[in-house]
Structure 1
Amino acid sequence: MFFNSLNKSFSQMLRRVRHETPWLAPDPPRRVNRIFKWLAPGLLVKRWLFLSVGGVLLVGLGVLISLKLTPVFYTGQFLGSIFRFLANQIPNYVSGPLAILMGLLFILWGQTRTLGAITEVLLPGNETELVDVLMQERRLARGPKVVVIGGGTGLSNLLRGLKQYSHNITAIVTVADDGGSSGRLRREIGVLPPGDIRNCLAALADEEKLLTELFQYRFKAGDGLVGHSFGNLFLTAMNDVTGDLEQAIAASSKVLAVRGQVLPATLSDVKLWAELSDGRRIEGESKIPEAKGQIVNIGCSPSHPPALPRAIKAIREADFIVFGPGSLYTSIIPNLLVPEIAEAIATRKIPRIYVCNVMTEPGETLSYAVSDHIRAIDRACGKPLFDAVLVQRRGPSEVAEERYAQVGAAPVLLDRETVLSSGRRIILANVMEESATGSVRHHPQRLAKVLMRWYSRTQGIW
């Protein structure tokens, strides 16, 4: 871009001048940088400013014409005499450019002062310039349409990173949860479980931190309130007011200034069940991991829940689809048990990637390798839904392995040949973060960066 290059060159020149003339002001003039930023195309500000100036001129011309053109003639004569006088006193090759320069300076001065006043109102106490906010908003608004499928903390963790690259994000979330606060609300009031949806809304929120913390606040005292989060109760109340969960989510998204959208996979009251290798049949999402068995089959009742139409629309318009991270059988696969969702994904010829968990999960994926995760998804859906799998490159520390070994978990091993034979590409990257206590999870920013880099590299292949 011409103006961006000009701005960069000007900044470099100022830095060189500062180095050679230390007696100058220690910091380069920020106003000059700000002016060049406002000149950058794509902000949708300058065109309306010039349109306003043109409107003022037209109004003035219309007034003069309404007065039978006489003022136009005399005004022209008066201005002409002034210009002739100036041309006689100052050469035109000096006066012309000088007038243009002064006019541009007045326009830019007026523009920056006006927008500076607007910034003080819209961004009080924020050092970020309005022009920087506008440029960032335009960049994110032009970001790819990303659909992320899953549930639990893994999905909300990824969303925190992805929202730095695009505002066109759709999170399709499972509604099979029946444990904790969500399970209690589901049993006592009959609403769809709001917990995973609440986490995703908070992750995509663009509001102030205090409001997000309020939405995530969990009551520690009070009859019937202990264990409930404020966001769950808020969504439940909105569900009752608006009539369904979809409208409740839309209203909550406005409160939190959510960028993107969070959608339940279905509005049906779905109950998850699993058949174990020892012949047991376990019903209920929260009871499946507690059974501590090897899952050989998984499904839901009703067996063919209808998909939310907006979820199908988001998949059909997506540029990029991401599965996970999250619990394989209780967060990711439940969304794909909605036949319309699996079918819509299967028909898309776009980049589709599965983010494999770093550690196995007792009661779900004990002793699973990467290929076992892939086989489980293919078996549940009856067809392959993704083309690549993202695997953590470097394993966790000995401290972390010992900590997870106490509960029967271990790192998910990459069986490269088996994965490649399934027709999937392998993306190896270091996207894990480890806490001081040895807890392991995906790093939101690192994971999002790797995913978006892979997406950009695959453009033109599909």
Structure 2
Amino acid sequence: MLINPFRRPFRKNLRAYPRPMAVTKNHPQHRLNHWLKWMMPGLSVKRWLLMSALGVLFTALGLAIWLNLTPVSRLLALMGALLQWLTAVVPSNISGPVAIAAGLSLIFWGQNRTFGAITTVLNPDGDEELVDMLHNHRRLNKGPKIVAIGGGTGLSTLLRGLKKYSSNITAVVTVADDGGSSGRLRREIGVLPPGDVRNCLAAFADEEKLLTELFQYRFKAGDGLVGHSFGNLFLTAMSEITGDLEQAVLASSKVLAIRGRVLPATLSDVKLWARMADGRVIEGESNIPEAGGHIMELGCWPENPPALPAAVKAIEEADFIIMGPGSLYTSVIPNLLVPEIREAIARSGAPRIYVCNIMTQPGETDGYTVADHIKAIDRACGKKLFDAVLVHQRSPSEAALRKYALERSHPVFLDREEVGRLRRRVVIANIMDEDPDTGYVRHNHERLAGMLVRWFSRAAEVQTKMAHPPTK
């Protein structure tokens, strides 16, 4: 069993996650907290300040030796006479502390102006102090290595929350989409569908709201442009320039300065097919939900596509693996149809959890329970891939239930006993948001990510205790 080396520092970093302050920047309490933050361990600042002070001392010593101490001795004699006069006028028990306070004030003032100038360059808007930027950067870099597997809006929602806990996040994304703008680009230009990759890149970005609006913008005019999103065209152009989608994503990540990595599960031109209960075989990711009926088997052409090596390596090195949320048959399982991906997950000793959808999806999971979702994944992979399932606790409002019922969608029922027979732990939490205007429900990215990292921390601690039982 693998031991998670990030458990203790991550738990400490989680406790140190910054909370909103009720005081303003000019408040004395805020100023005191600001200086105390510079004394916190792990910023790698104090050692370099001390190194600078030693440098000044050695430079002065070198000059004194080089000049045979002649001007220095005269200066010291002058300083000695001045100090004798000062102590005669003002007692040493007063003048000494005053001089020390003045010296320290000058040091702090100089350092404050220095760091302020650096902050102005790094953060022109001034919405974050330099010490907070350094602390967050260190905290996120020490976060666990997380791999999130899926696609669609569910995966991007998850990433939006997880990026606040770690910078070491890899999203493994399906490339089976053949509808909408992605499908058109796939058919007309021959590139892999960029839609799900686009959503994940936007979720990882610091300026998430602006970048999401830019990437999701769809052209309403223009010959051949109508219906295309800017983000899809951007990634398509990058693919043409760099040679493939993997390099396009890497280049885009540098341009957009995102915190994590987005990797396609495979670079093969994958096409999904589904065998229905009535014997029909439906081809194409966008056609499967529209076909109606019960899905018995899901596959792809070409069969057994090769995995992207970087995606396999990320799974092998992961401290925590998350599958979902997202459409079961068109977002989650397509990644697992890549043999090397599912084998790497099966071999991993990291905690693995599946985030179940809140509502059933018409055409894919009609009438499905939580256990039915698990069985579908096990059936597609032929083995157990995850240890626990995260389920939302409360039911949506009556208004939302009526709206979903008109669309033949209902809450996913938790059949706890059946899940237990499948040897999965159940994690229950309130992780839902309900839009008061539209009535649609979605996972709340902050509560979802917070619940997952807490579960990971506990699971990693249990693993450590099992690997190192207390000696009698």
TM-score, normalized by the shorter chain, greater than 0.5: yes
Moved more, 95-104 or 252-261: 95-104
**Aligned partners of 1:207 and 1:258 also within 8 Å:** no
Q: CA deviation at 1:302?
A: 1.7
Residue 162 of structure 2 aligns to which amino acid in structure 1? L
Q: Which SS does the other structure have where 2:224 is aligned?
A: coil
For 2:176, the equivalent position in structure 1 comes to 176
Q: Which SS does the other structure have where 1:367 is aligned?
A: coil
What CA distance in whole angstroms lies between the structure 1 residues aligned with 2:133 and 2:57?
31
Q: CA deviation at 1:36?
A: 1.8
For 2:122, the equivalent position in structure 1 comes to 122
Q: Which SS does the other structure have where 1:461 is aligned?
A: helix
**Aligned partners of 1:65 and 1:72 also within 8 Å:** no
Q: Which SS does the other structure have where 1:458 is aligned?
A: helix
What CA distance in whole angstroms lies between the structure 1 residues aligned with 2:147 and 2:258?
15
Structure 1 330/98 Cα, relative in aligned 2: closer, same or farther at 3 Å? Answer: same
For 1:21, the equivalent position in structure 2 comes to none
Q: CA deviation at 1:318?
A: 1.2
Give aligned pairs, total.
Answer: 438
What CA distance in whole angstroms lies between the structure 1 residues aligned with 2:383 and 2:202?
33
For 2:451, the equivalent position in structure 1 comes to 450
Q: CA deviation at 1:110?
A: 1.2
Structure 1 444/208 Cα, relative in aligned 2: closer, same or farther at 3 Å? Answer: closer
Q: Which SS does the other structure have where 1:54 is aligned?
A: helix
Structure 1 53/208 Cα, relative in aligned 2: closer, same or farther at 3 Å? Answer: farther
Q: CA deviation at 1:72?
A: 4.3
**Aligned partners of 2:202 and 2:208 also within 8 Å:** no
What CA distance in whole angstroms lies between the structure 2 residues aligned with 1:240 and 1:64?
64
What CA distance in whole angstroms lies between the structure 1 residues aligned with 2:184 and 2:381?
30
What CA distance in whole angstroms lies between the structure 1 residues aligned with 2:334 and 2:110?
57
What CA distance in whole angstroms lies between the structure 2 residues aligned with 1:101 and 1:348?
57
Q: CA deviation at 1:254?
A: 1.9
Residue 427 of structure 1 aligns to which amino acid in structure 2? V
Residue 285 of structure 1 aligns to which amino acid in structure 2? E
For 2:235, the equivalent position in structure 1 comes to 235
What CA distance in whole angstroms lies between the structure 1 residues aligned with 2:297 and 2:206?
40
2:251 matches 1:251: yes
2:219 matches 1:219: yes
For 1:201, the equivalent position in structure 2 comes to 201
Q: CA deviation at 1:120?
A: 2.6
* TM-score, normalization by structure 2: 0.88
For 1:317, the equivalent position in structure 2 comes to 317
For 2:331, the equivalent position in structure 1 comes to 331
Q: CA deviation at 1:76?
A: 4.3
Q: Which SS does the other structure have where 2:460 is aligned?
A: coil
For 1:57, the equivalent position in structure 2 comes to 57
For 1:459, the equivalent position in structure 2 comes to 460
Q: Which SS does the other structure have where 1:104 is aligned?
A: helix
Moved more, 178-187 or 204-213: 204-213
Q: CA deviation at 1:89?
A: 5.3
**Aligned partners of 1:274 and 1:281 also within 8 Å:** yes
Residue 330 of structure 2 aligns to which amino acid in structure 1? T
**Aligned partners of 2:205 and 2:259 also within 8 Å:** yes
What CA distance in whole angstroms lies between the structure 1 residues aligned with 2:97 and 2:60?
25
**Aligned partners of 1:151 and 1:196 also within 8 Å:** yes
For 2:36, the equivalent position in structure 1 comes to 36
Q: Which SS does the other structure have where 2:274 is aligned?
A: strand
Residue 257 of structure 1 aligns to which amino acid in structure 2? A
Q: CA deviation at 1:90?
A: 5.0
Q: CA deviation at 1:32?
A: 2.8
**Aligned partners of 1:272 and 1:284 also within 8 Å:** yes
**Aligned partners of 1:35 and 1:108 also within 8 Å:** no
For 1:12, the equivalent position in structure 2 comes to none
For 1:47, the equivalent position in structure 2 comes to 47
Q: CA deviation at 1:74?
A: 3.9
5+ residue gaps, structure 1, are 1-14, 16-25
What CA distance in whole angstroms lies between the structure 2 residues aligned with 1:364 and 1:396?
21
Q: Which SS does the other structure have where 1:178 is aligned?
A: coil
Residue 459 of structure 1 aligns to which amino acid in structure 2? A
Tell me how large the CA RMSD over aligned residues is.
2.0
What CA distance in whole angstroms lies between the structure 1 residues aligned with 2:364 and 2:29?
59
* TM-score, normalization by structure 1: 0.90
